[in-house]
Structure 1
Amino acid sequence: MIKTLSGRVRLLWGLSLLIPAVVLAQPIPPTINTTLSGRITDQRTGEPLIGATVLIKGTTNGGTADTNGQFTLKTGQKLPFSLIISFIGYQSKEIIAEGNPVNIELAADSKQLSEVVVIGYGTVRKTDLTGSVSSINTEQINKTINSSLDQALAGRAAGVQVTQTSGQPGSAISIRIRGGNSITGGNEPLYVIDGFPVYNNNTDANAGVVSGPSINALASLNPSDIESMEVLKDASATAIYGSRGANGVVLITTKKGRAGQNSITYETYYGQQSVLKTVDVLTSARDWALLKNDARANSGKAPYYTDAQLQALTGGTDWQKEAFTSALIQNHQLSMTGGDDRTRYAISGNYFKQDGILRHTDFDRYSIRINLDRDFSAKFRVGTNFTASKVSARIANAGIVNALLSMPPTVPIRTATGEYTYQSEFETPLGNPIATLEKEINKTTTYRLLGNVFGEYTLAEGLVAKISFGADIINNKQNRYVPSTIYQGANASATGTASVGSKFASSWLNENTLSYSRSLGGRHSINAVVGYTQQAYQNESVIAGSQQFVTDQLTYNDLGSGSVYTQPSSSATQWALNSFLGRVNYSFDQKYILTISGRADGSSRFGKDKKWGYFPSAAFAWNVSRESFLASVPSVSNLKLRLSAGITGNQEIGQYLSLATLATNTYFFGNQTVIGFAPSRISNPDLGWETTAQYDAGIDLGLFKNRLSIVFDAYYKRTTNLLLNVPIPYTTGQSTSLQNYGTVDNKGIELGINSQNLRGRFSWNTNLVFSLNRNKVVSLGDGASYIISGANIAKVGEPLGSFYGYQTNGIFQTTDNIAELPTIDPTKTKPGDRRYVDINGDGKITQTDDRTIIGNAQPKFIGGLTNNFSYANFDLSIFFQGSYGNQLFNQNKQQLELLTGQQNASITALDRWTPTNPSNTIQRAFEDPAPVNTSRYVEDASYLRLKNLSLGYHLPKSIASKIRSSQVRVYVTAQNLFTFTSYSGYDPEVSRNEQSTLNLGIDYSVYPSSKAYLAGLSISF
């Protein structure tokens, strides 16, 4: 199987490299005078304009463009002659046809709302769109700093929640479209890049060695290459992706060349970053020493510091100040685009480098993209989309932020001899985090090839066949070395630790579609597509390591020089997906539009009795503004009502979960250790899809010649057959079995408003997106009412991301309080300890009865606001993004308020309870308290962020022309300039557990986010 797949991949890429040479070598056939063919496309996007009309001037002889934008006319006359081309929403155009074929580009008419929108396996005029689709303004994306293309979605589309899980450059992103559906499965959307479906599985870009935040698999793709981006949200739009459509679909089209528009463009920016904010901890050595003595006294021990030592203590180490630094960021891109009547090309090369705000962390990317297509004839077209990239990152240790916050200020960074301080000298030793940042090697490098080749042939008028082959190949290597000179690398079990991991993942795709487009009688039009696709994926990974090295000089490059080998591990997985798909879009009189689509998916991931899933959808739209009764209302330019319903699925559950498996175990027989196998999971032949049924109602409204456009949607989603580990009898040999149980609901509303406030020399446009989603767990299976995971709980009747713990209501002030009020343990409770609410009123505090829901990470609403201004050659963009009502469990705060005297503490420790300071907020210092999940550490994480501020200037053409440039723009940009929030942590936009839905909203030792200032240049020739 592996050899076969590798052969296909090699053959595919060999063909893709041969196509440009073969294509360019083809002769151009002579002009045919009796028949004229050509293609009509959008001037900006290059997408075909389906249904555009072509008329020979002065005659009634004409035709319409098919799904590929192509047309053929039987002219009955010789060239040259004039053609009139028109399409709703575009400016009509008259040209003289002198040769055959002719390629025509139409410019969109800003006064109409009929631009072409990319949908699954095709395009559609916006007036004929029945589903809920958000188009992202790529011009605005290019004004922000994005190391990965998924970052560009933040605040740009209604219903899309983007969470930056870590400030580590190139780190993972979590995206939820209309809420999270699954508890244990994947919740990320499907990305379709130039027709190739990619699930953002960050494990493909991480071999599993690195201790730190994972690198985003999509960071290997260059955001500057994006031409258009559409977010498919409702079932009508996503059902054609079937088993991968439940979490939404993001369609990405990269830049293409256009006939007669040859250009070379160089773009660059350079800037500096700094940490958004720091956490307030004790930085005074004397303040911390007093806390240390206080904790020992409350534990019945003698003071650690004498009065003389306390008096001698001055200053203190600010560990955060020493670790954070000003970091550089730069980007360089060279693009060449253009073509002629037959061949179009777009070639770009990119270098992106982002240093981290924590010392010795960074991310850099090299990428190249080639898009090429050519018309062999009026009926036959071939093309290729190809990108290659290399990304590298130096990654911070997973616990480094916690170490920065925890290291006491009495510990110096270096000793008197200039060496790094090895560790803190207290009962609980802590390693020097500055030494860890500098000396620990923690690096990952990923090579990626992604592309496809395709051919299209017009079988008959309006009937086009398309075949494509594609592949996605990812090769990742991770290296880690912890030297013996730092605390983590020199302990009782190891003197220097090295590990090396490698992962190779590949996916191949074949798609075969047949498209049909036809207008009948002037009032009826039909647009249909059917197809068969097949995709297969495999990956192999291996990890090896050693300890106790004689020297640190060789780091991870000679594992054999370590005297103790750590147990190696390796794995291999495969999956395959076969699919049949279809969609019919019927329009009557451009007023009533009906769309029916569906897909049948057969997946290797599910049980033998549930391999196939079926995902239908239907939608209806009514263009009310085309009715005669609205003709007398000139203020209404566009009014469309939409309804849709459908079913989609989720196959992101992992591999082999329906099968019985064995796991290795270590056994001892006599004096020997042997390895054996034991059952680890029982089979489930009925394991099936997580299925999402969704209903959507929408309104598209344009007022005052579409100067004000409003899009409103209300939706309801129910996900059933959730995959959960259900308890089973121990007689089976296992305690749980993965089965289809459970239901989750999501419902919400979305609003998008775009207004052209001012036109003319001074222009002002505003774009607002607003959405709210309400999530609820409806069922967790028979007899189950909750699942507890750390500080989170999934509970029937409550939303996912709920926090679970005790409600706190102050501090015990006296022994009388302890006797009168309920406590966890009356024999150990002292004045100054925290009080908890007795939920069930039984006079005592217990885990089973008095823990309750203490908060939730789900926002009440999210939104984004963009204002664009232009005057003469100046342009200004202001972009705000925010979230309201979400909460975070601040585990950093929980650790810093233990007040043990073993580690540093929050600045709130200065107000801790003492007999002379009876605080009712901060408990007393004590050497050995147990961390308790309480409402004290649940904080409001609402925020409003000035995400981007960009000011640009276009040089006058009279000046640009002197250097033979067609366009020169210089600009300055500030990113994350201000964040308005009451959250006390580094950043309210955070998630320690990355893309997990069950463990949402935990803030603990997460790499902080940054703000940036930069200057840029764009010049075209």
Structure 2
Amino acid sequence: MKNNYSRLKWVALIILGGMLMFLSMVATAAIPTPLPLLQQEVSGIVEDQNGLPIPGVTITIKNTNRGTVTNLDGQYSITAPSNGVLVFSFIGYSTIEIEIDGQKEIDIKLEEDIAALGEVQINAGYYNTTERERTGSISRVSSEDIEMQPIVSPLEALQGRMAGVEIEQPSGIRGVASSIRIRGRNSLRLGGDQPLFIVDGVPINANSISSIGLFTQNSGMDPLSTLNLSNIESIEVLKDADATAIYGSRGANGVVLISTKRNKGGRSQVEAKIYSGFSQVSNRMDLMNTAEYLEVRRTAFENDGVTPTESNAPDLVLWDQNRETDWQEELLGGTSPITDITMSVSGGNEQTSFRLGGSYRKEGSVFPGTFEYNKATANFSLNHRSKDNKFALDFTANYGVDNNQLFFGSNYVRLAVILPPNAPELYNDDGSLNWAENRWINPLNGLFKPQDIETNNLLSNLSLKYNLGKGLEFKTNFGYSNLISGQVTKNLINSFNPVTWGYTRLSSYHSDTRRKSWIIEPQMTYNKQFGGFNVNAITGLTFQENQNSLLTMDGTGYGDDSLVGNLSAADQVRVNSDQKINYRYAAIFGRLGLDWKKKYYFNITGRKDGSSRFGPNKRIANFGAIGAAWIFSEETFIQQNLSFLSFGKFRGSYGTTGSDQIPDYGFMDTYETTNGPGGLYPTKLYNPNFSWEINKKLEAALQLGFIEDRINLEVNWYRNRSSNQLTGYPLPAITGFSSVQANLPATIENSGWEIALNTLNTKGENFFWQTSLNFTIPRNKLVEFDNLDLTPYRQTYRVGEPLSIALVYKYDGINPDTGRYEVKDINEDGRLDFSDRTGIAFLGRKYYGGIQNTVKVRNFNLGFLFEYINQDKHSYLRDTGRTPGYYGNNSTQILDAWTQAGDHTNIQQLSTSSSSSFLNALESDRMITDASFLRLKTLSLSYQFSKTFVERMGVKELDLYLHAQNLFTLTNYLGLDPQAGLAVPPMRTITSGLRITI
């Protein structure tokens, strides 16, 4: 595959050149405003606790509307009465009031205000709010929790940090798409719960990129991996109707807002960060050694009355009985080196500022071979505001190239677990792969099935604002995204047993995925204060178009390894799929926000959506929500009687959102060509009447602050009901079609409790300790499905039960006479069929949470995060599907298998074949197990050098840090990982590095 890293260099140069041209055209000096005479001038410098100047700090004269801001060096100058009071305020810092008292120079240090509910800005999408004033349910993770983690996808940074947000990592391999679900499963369709992702105002298609690799064929590739994590300012997740209804159908499953960094204050600086380290598989199974394995196998043959032969037992007859190989060490025991470099340059003045950055990451593999993962990114942001503050421009561009070679055609994870410990050596004496006289498939044949995936992703946004005066502002957003992902998988000659060698078997698989979209959103906002009454309104339009294409081909019959992948050299080329899809979306939206004396808040949002995925008569739908909040701690009677309560707020919301997450053109009848010339046959039925899913969301919440907001507690209760379910309705074969797209009379309910607790335990000059805890109790159930028993879904769902269930046989123990598993024949008809599957096993999270601590001791910072999930899953035995005693290694637990009547064990008698009793047990509740776990998700330790030292070094900041991830997991689950199952566990990663600011 052609390498596109050179493109990145030219893109960065073009962006930098454009930036310099723009800066040369704008003015850099502000016109000073004359101040009244007969007052004294006061000047000084505003710094943070580390002695660094803070640009952009607002200094006002108390009880007046006069003020100024600090420049790039933190300096200010203001004319004020000699007996006046100066008020210093800046987002994220405590506001300070200083009496002038005739002083001509006043230098101050601002302290970070961790618990300031009203200071930290929260991105709510089309508008900003604060923790104090929000009426909706919004969770936020800041850059401090994101940029230092040694990961590649922003979704991984959210694990364990947010209540109501489930993120599952299906594999520890870099680039595999993680799944995210916000407040449960809303749809009967798997994959119908994807939230809306917006990066700097641009909606993106975050669905996984399909891949045929053994590690990615089920989950696909993550398109978010092309983002530079060090360039992310914050990630907000919008959950309830009040927060999401303004996005209409697109926000039915929640909204994930990713905001990148900007140089807001105009400060000039260069920041560089570099870290390196390694990753290893975080867990291994306790498998049998050679002596134990051979004893189990011999006993299994004796129990079956079968004689081992070269064909049915090469491990007992042909292979060395004293040989022992730890296949987990051999196939998964490698160390993956990691190097990550990030750099950014920022600067500007009061009117114009910019930030230009880039990153490069290289990572190896824990598997045999020299496969690598490489990522390079470039990002640029430009902010400009006219001198009269009427016009503002905000431009961002993020470009990433992701090259992944970590996926190939051998499932080393499964082989590492099941290969017999006395299996042959991997190589012959001449260095060729050892095929052991055709008695096994050499696991290293995967080295000759390489897979190369390259993804290029561009995200850009331009926002223009103009202040019309009298509280009116016009704004337009222009967004564009372009993703191109190409994949080549090769089957080279050494991947085959020499006995079956034949150049006609050499083959390659190719896929080309392209996603292009644009969006235009003109908006009008109105902000006005009438005494104690504040009005904030917004209305706008959305025009969006997505163009998606997928082309897959394969080539066979290459003449040589060097030609594999060049389709022009193949004897035969076949096009498997050639899809081109256009999706159009339009909407009108509005919001009216009201508050009275910063105490009573009322929020109304609405949206009218139109989607091309529905028939002509069903394309338009209306959605809306109402949210309200009462800050009761502002009431006089509360302040007089509950002095310990520093903040108290009730809030609630109700509204509807919809969903159009269905395949495009689903309402149309379609045809395909026949194998013969000139023929067509129908493949899908026309149904213009199916329409939007409706999700009705209800929420109530209580927020409390104690001891000057050093303790903040939030408790949410929510209930979401999704009805009019869109899905493929199965049809009988006599119709000639397998299904038709339709709305089913089914309603799904998600309800639960979310608790978030933040405490500032200690705050001193030399010691600081903060704790954040989140806890979620989710409940999901199918509350209604008319005539379920008359549909094929009767074999999947039950009314009143969760969607994530397994209908299983009832396990009845081990037969004391035969030593085999038994399940109950419920209807006692002498046979086992689906009517006997009366057991209902819930396969999902019962509750989950995380606890994070941040401790600062002088110049040392320590942070760690624990994640806990209580859940049930299928057991390791079901994942492997191997009878105890069958060919292949197994857990040491099978050493306790049943041998005679009276044995108390849950492992049946050893056998070399998969009997019906074992197969029935696989579909019983015997194979459901507790997969709960407690994991040390992240651990970080850093040291910040003192101001005196860094000044001597000629720099502004210098930090050294050590980071670790997935250090240990406490669980009773038998397999490799309680979340990934029989897959690569999350990597145990340890890195160290430095960050320097000049």
Shorter-chain TM-score: which interval? 0.7 to 0.9
Alignment of 1:571-582 (within 5 A): 571-582=579-590
| Partner of residue 838, structure 1 | 825
- SS of 2:132's partner is helix
Moved more, 722-731 or 858-867: 722-731
Selected match of 1:693 from 696, 700, 717: 696
Conserved 8 A contact 1:529-1:582: yes
Conserved 8 A contact 1:440-1:480: yes
Structure 2: where are the runs of 5+ without partners?
1-12, 37-45, 49-55, 70-77, 101-108
Establish whether residue 895 from structure 1 lines up as the match of residue 881 from structure 2: yes
- SS of 1:538's partner is strand
Selected match of 2:559 from 550, 555, 576: 550
| Partner of residue 853, structure 2 | 867
Conserved 8 A contact 1:182-1:719: yes
What do the CA deviations read for 1:711-753 (whole angstroms, capped 9, x no partner)? 1100000011111222446675434322111221100000110
- SS of 2:494's partner is coil
Establish whether residue 593 from structure 1 lines up as the match of residue 607 from structure 2: no
Conserved 8 A contact 1:854-1:934: no
Structure-2 separation of matches of 1:676 and 1:778: 46
Conserved 8 A contact 1:837-1:845: no
Structure-1 separation of matches of 2:570 and 2:219: 27
Selected match of 2:161 from 153, 156, 164: 156
Conserved 8 A contact 1:793-1:801: no
- SS of 2:966's partner is strand
**Structure 2 counterpart of 1:1009, one-letter code:** P
Establish whether residue 684 from structure 1 lines up as the match of residue 687 from structure 2: yes
The structural deviation recorded for 1:597 is 0.3
Selected match of 1:535 from 526, 544, 549: 544
Conserved 8 A contact 1:867-1:878: yes
The structural deviation recorded for 1:354 is 2.6
Alignment of 1:325-336 (within 5 A): 325-336=334-345
**Structure 1 counterpart of 2:705, one-letter code:** G
Establish whether residue 569 from structure 1 lines up as the match of residue 551 from structure 2: no
| Partner of residue 810, structure 2 | 807
The structural deviation recorded for 1:850 is 1.6
Moved more, 714-723 or 729-738: 729-738
**Structure 1 counterpart of 2:709, one-letter code:** N
| Partner of residue 1016, structure 1 | 993
Alignment of 1:211-610 (within 5 A): 214-284=220-290, 287-288=293-294, 291=297, 294-295=300-301, 298=304, 300-301=306-307, 303-304=309-310, 313-324=321-332, 325-360=334-369, 361-377=371-387, 378-394=389-405, 395-397=407-409, 399-421=411-433, 423=435, 431-436=441-446, 438-487=447-496, 495-521=505-531, 523-556=532-565, 558-610=566-618
The structural deviation recorded for 1:32 is 6.9
Structure-1 separation of matches of 2:552 and 2:791: 36
Conserved 8 A contact 1:270-1:1016: yes
Structure-2 separation of matches of 1:934 and 1:680: 37
- SS of 1:885's partner is strand
What do the CA deviations read for 1:521-572 (whole angstroms, capped 9, x no partner)? 1x0001111110111011222222222332212331x223333444443111
The structural deviation recorded for 1:421 is 4.5
Conserved 8 A contact 2:872-2:928: no
Moved more, 209-218 or 438-447: 209-218
The structural deviation recorded for 1:911 is 3.5
Establish whether residue 178 from structure 1 lines up as the match of residue 189 from structure 2: no
| Partner of residue 138, structure 2 | 133
Conserved 8 A contact 1:912-1:925: no
Selected match of 1:656 from 643, 656, 665: 665
| Partner of residue 910, structure 1 | 895
Structure-1 separation of matches of 2:535 and 2:88: 20
Q: 1:462 to 1:431 in 2, by over 3 A?
A: farther
Structure 1: where are the runs of 5+ without partners?
1-12, 37-41, 45-51, 66-74, 97-104, 668-673, 815-830, 991-1002
Conserved 8 A contact 1:584-1:596: yes
Structure-2 separation of matches of 1:397 and 1:737: 35
Structure-1 separation of matches of 2:79 and 2:943: 52
| Partner of residue 961, structure 2 | 971
Q: 1:289 to 1:410 in 2, by over 3 A?
A: farther
| Partner of residue 72, structure 2 | none
Conserved 8 A contact 2:714-2:755: yes
Structure-2 separation of matches of 1:528 and 1:247: 25
**Structure 2 counterpart of 1:977, one-letter code:** L
- SS of 1:128's partner is coil
Q: 1:908 to 1:286 in 2, by over 3 A?
A: closer
**Structure 1 counterpart of 2:696, one-letter code:** A
What do the CA deviations read for 1:115-149 (whole angstroms, capped 9, x no partner)? 22211211123322111111213312234222111
- SS of 1:640's partner is strand
Moved more, 741-750 or 606-615: 606-615
**Structure 2 counterpart of 1:946, one-letter code:** L
Conserved 8 A contact 2:491-2:506: yes
Q: 1:494 to 1:985 in 2, by over 3 A?
A: farther
Structure-1 separation of matches of 2:840 and 2:270: 57
- SS of 1:170's partner is coil
**Structure 2 counterpart of 1:585, one-letter code:** G
Moved more, 208-217 or 1008-1017: 208-217
Conserved 8 A contact 1:481-1:555: yes
Structure-1 separation of matches of 2:17 and 2:667: 40
Conserved 8 A contact 1:296-1:303: no
The structural deviation recorded for 1:928 is 4.7
Structure-2 separation of matches of 1:307 and 1:217: 44
What do the CA deviations read for 1:601-642 (whole angstroms, capped 9, x no partner)? 111111222111211000110010111112223211100100
Conserved 8 A contact 1:286-1:314: no
TM superposition score normalised by structure 1: 0.85
Moved more, 704-713 or 677-686: 677-686
Q: 1:798 to 1:294 in 2, by over 3 A?
A: same
Q: 1:566 to 1:279 in 2, by over 3 A?
A: farther
Q: 1:34 to 1:675 in 2, by over 3 A?
A: farther
Structure-1 separation of matches of 2:275 and 2:241: 40
Conserved 8 A contact 1:295-1:900: no
Structure-2 separation of matches of 1:372 and 1:82: 36
Q: 1:643 to 1:63 in 2, by over 3 A?
A: farther
Q: 1:306 to 1:735 in 2, by over 3 A?
A: closer
| Partner of residue 6, structure 2 | none
What do the CA deviations read for 1:682-703 (whole angstroms, capped 9, x no partner)? 1111222222111000111100
- SS of 1:435's partner is helix
Structure-2 separation of matches of 1:766 and 1:396: 42
What do the CA deviations read for 1:442-499 (whole angstroms, capped 9, x no partner)? 1100011101112110011321111121111001110110112224895799522212
Moved more, 546-555 or 689-698: 546-555
The structural deviation recorded for 1:679 is 1.1
Conserved 8 A contact 1:420-1:432: no
What do the CA deviations read for 1:296-353 (whole angstroms, capped 9, x no partner)? 8716455556999599610233322211111112211111223211111111111122
Structure-2 separation of matches of 1:491 and 1:807: 49
Q: 1:64 to 1:131 in 2, by over 3 A?
A: farther
Establish whether residue 744 from structure 1 lines up as the match of residue 711 from structure 2: no
| Partner of residue 25, structure 1 | 25
| Partner of residue 74, structure 2 | none
